[in-house]
């Protein structure tokens, strides 16, 4: 396990040992690691060396620390491509997961200034405000707050929102989605995010805003989402500019 005569530094050997336990599945995502003291005792090495190995694995995102609780094995993140306008349901199905929803808010209301500007609405137009927890195999991944002008989808109901919004818009309402602009920002989970996403307040999250437009360029939805930072990473292809 640990060879004190090896030219390899001890912290590196511990790192490799913990990595092997993760790769073999002996340590699973979400498992807590023994304390630094216990590890130091079992390897008969100093706590400093154990701490260095753990810090390196935390920096490589293989482990994460929870204040006052311990060190845990990280969950594998979903790699989400920033190419192609897809729905949450499509993304989950393409990974072999079962998409789910928990609707926590559904309201028809008068638009705020921001929404009037974004959708170029009249004052008496109404907008839907929809808040859903998005689930993958029953596990919460994100909280999504969507705004859509009522006149674009007059029949939208709570029942429809228990499955895919894009499928309903395209297949049942003949809506032609065209493109979206999307921004991503690092943020920290609020108390409310933490409650819905099974996180601790202050944990890292990704704040994503998507503005989706129809093929004819008219705005369709404005969506503000909070994705779990321990579950998601975004990937993009970039080409050399010449």
Instruction: Give contact residues for ligand 16G (rule: CB under 6 A).
Output: 87-89, 99, 144, 146, 164-167, 208, 210, 212, 221, 223, 225
Of 63 and 223, the one with the shorter C-beta distance to ligand 16G is 223
Of 13 and 164, the one with the shorter C-beta distance to ligand 16G is 164
Smallest gap, in angstroms, from Cβ of residue 107 to ligand 16G?
A: 16
The single residue listed with the structure tokens 């690691």 is 33
Smallest gap, in angstroms, from Cβ of residue 99 to ligand 16G?
A: 6
Residue 175, SS3 per DSSP: coil
Smallest gap, in angstroms, from Cβ of residue 227 to ligand 16G?
A: 7
C-alpha 68/C-alpha 152 separation (Å) is 49
Of 40 and 223, the one with the shorter C-beta distance to ligand 16G is 223
Of 53 and 223, the one with the shorter C-beta distance to ligand 16G is 223
**DSSP assignment of 35-59, as one string?**
PHHHHHHHHTS-HHHHHHHHHHHHH
Q: Around Cβ 132, how many Cβ atoms within 10 Å?
A: 22
Smallest gap, in angstroms, from Cβ of residue 146 to ligand 16G?
A: 5
Helices 36-43 and 10-24, axial angle in degrees (round to 10) = 110
Residue 35 Cα distances to 25, 39, 84, 98, 185, angstroms: 19, 6, 44, 36, 33
Of 205 and 223, the one with the shorter C-beta distance to ligand 16G is 223
Smallest gap, in angstroms, from Cβ of residue 163 to ligand 16G?
A: 7
Strand partners, 81: 235
């Amino acid at each position: 396990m640990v060879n004190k005569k090896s030219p390899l530094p001890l912290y590196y050997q511990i790192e490799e040992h913990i990595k092997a336990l993760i790769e073999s599945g002996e340590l699973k995502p979400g498992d807590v690691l023994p304390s630094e003291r216990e590890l130091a005792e079992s390897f008969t090495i100093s706590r400093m060396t154990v701490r260095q190995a753990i810090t390196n694995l935390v920096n490589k995102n293989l482990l994460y620390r929870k204040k006052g609780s311990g060190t845990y094995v990280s969950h594998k993140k979903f790699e989400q491509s920033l190419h192609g306008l897809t729905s949450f349901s499509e993304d989950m199905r393409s990974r072999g997961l079962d998409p789910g929803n928990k609707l926590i808010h559904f309201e028809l209301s008068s638009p705020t200034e921001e929404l009037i500007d974004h959708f170029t609405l009249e004052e008496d137009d109404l907008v839907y405000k929809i808040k859903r927890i998005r689930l993958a195999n029953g596990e919460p991944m994100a909280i999504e707050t969507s705004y859509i002008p009522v006149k674009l989808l007059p029949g939208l109901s709570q029942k429809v929102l228990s499955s895919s919004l894009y499928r309903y818009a395209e297949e049942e309402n003949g809506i032609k989605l065209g493109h979206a602009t999307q921004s991503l920002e690092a943020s920290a989970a609020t108390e409310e995010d933490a409650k819905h996403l099974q996180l601790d307040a202050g944990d890292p999250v990704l704040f994503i805003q998507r503005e989706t437009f129809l093929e004819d360029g008219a705005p369709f939805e404005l969506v503000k989402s909070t994705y779990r930072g321990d579950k998601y990473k975004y990937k993009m292809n970039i080409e050399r500019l010449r």
